[in-house]
Structure 1
Amino acid sequence: ELGYQEKAYEMYLRTARLDLDNYNNDTEDGCHTTSMAGTWMSVVHGFGGLRVKDGVLHLNPFIPGHWSSFSFKVMFRGSRLKVNVKGHETLIVNETDTPAVLNVSGKEYAISGFGEVTAAR
């Protein structure tokens, strides 16, 4: 939202690598679940641009310069949606029989149960 894409990626790496690089010298005591949650949130809410506005799921994704694609799943109002962001497209697959309405990069889409849609980003 703010446009700080490089800074967002830098912060993502700090969160994702906290235990891998043992920043706090305490990895032997166990993994930091808050860091794991922050990593997931960075991908979904940050790079995926996921927001809920007026009861509608919105996605406004961007791909960090170091990646070629990313994907995640989210459950929203009974629909399990698999989101795959690659190139200039976002593919959303509804893995349930519950239809879904969502907004991708400013355009509204309706996805039937077990349907899919490809949106330009």
Structure 2
Amino acid sequence: MSSETSTPYTPASTSTTVAGNETVSLADEIKKYDTAKLIEFLKGQEDLGLSESALKILENEETKKDLKEVLAKYGVQDGRITDIPQFTPKPHNIDDKNEALIRSECYTMRKCFTN
């Protein structure tokens, strides 16, 4: 009788224990790869039967991960955009004699509505 055991395959986390020594899970191994290169590799694997929509999901996950990292950097946890601090824009005075402003539609429209 052998002392080897293995856990059943699950796509999210696969690890094998051989004689009490744990190996790196498949999910941990895949995390080491550059996402774009991994997706390109998967596109070339016809026997996997991945649809374009499945590959799009993988590409979108990378974007979500990037967004989560940026939000976490600024103290926003769990994607709650309501945690993003609001700001009050500073008013800027614009000279009414500014040539660029006078030629703009905005200035012309303002003149129409204020007269």
Same-fold call, TM cutoff 0.5: no
Q: Name the larger-Rg structure.
A: 2
Bigger helix share: 2
Higher relative CO (CA 8 A, sep ≥ 6), structure 1 or 2? 1
